[in-house]
Amino acid sequence: MKIFVIGGTGRVGSQIVSNLKQVGHTVAGSFNRSTADSDVLVHLDLHDSVAINREKLRGYDVVYFAAGSAGGDLVQVDLYGSMKIMQAAKEAGVSRFIQISSAAIGSIFHDDWYRGPHGDYLDYNIIKYVSDEWLIHNSGLPYTILRPGVLMDESGSGKVTFDVHHRTYNAISNVALVAAKLLDYPRTINRVIAMGDGHLSVDDALAELPPVKSVHQAGN
């Protein structure tokens, strides 16, 4: 498949690019401000218009969204940037959109949102929630939303869980592994999957997912 990873220089996105390449996909990852030091990187700015970015996505089967402003420009990048790129993907004929989101957003009106680490990320969580809702209800794209909790810069066990009830910790390599393997499991289409580091191999965890009952079935 031809796959475009938005945020291809990021901590998660760069590993998604490598994992997908390793299994034989044709992959382009985007950079914005970083220096492109790889021939698989293409410049893409989420501040640009739908029309500009649509041409960059033309010819790709799948788009991953693994970009983010790290709190610096939440509205223009994480929210409106993601919505515009969904529209660009739709107009470019992309047939699947995979969004890296956040596990904290499964319970938007829960008191936890105002306490502890969740409170510090309230604006981020609100914006990721709205972006996810747009993808599900307005984009017109077949989607998968992957919701890890806290991302950890540590070596991953390769073992995960999708049975998530609390804030989770996730080795970045585990998130990138699940993200890449979503393509092998059709049951992950039109599904929201919350994840954390756990005890199942990624393949076992994905194989155990029950059929989709509703758009909010998994991880909420």
- In the complex, the residues that contact ligand NAP under the rule CB under 6 A are 7-13, 30-34, 44-47, 66-70, 77, 81, 100, 102, 148, 150-151
Q: How far is the CB of 13 from ligand NAP (least distance, A)?
A: 5
Torsion sign across C-alpha atoms 189, 171, 151, 105 = positive
Residue with nearest beta carbon to ligand NAP:
10
- Buried b / exposed e over 133-156, threshold 16 CB at 10 Å, is ebbbeebebebbbbbbbebbeeeb
Query: CB-wise, 98 or 211, nearer to ligand NAP?
Result: 98
Q: How far is the CB of 12 from ligand NAP (least distance, A)?
A: 4
Spatial distance between the Cα atoms of 215 and 11, rounded to a whole number of angstroms: 28
Question: What residues have CB less than 8 Å from 44, skipping those under 6 apart?
Answer: 6, 30, 31, 32, 53, 56
Q: How far is the CB of 67 from ligand NAP (least distance, A)?
A: 3
Q: How far is the CB of 78 from ligand NAP (least distance, A)?
A: 6
Query: CB-wise, 77 or 83, nearer to ligand NAP?
Result: 77
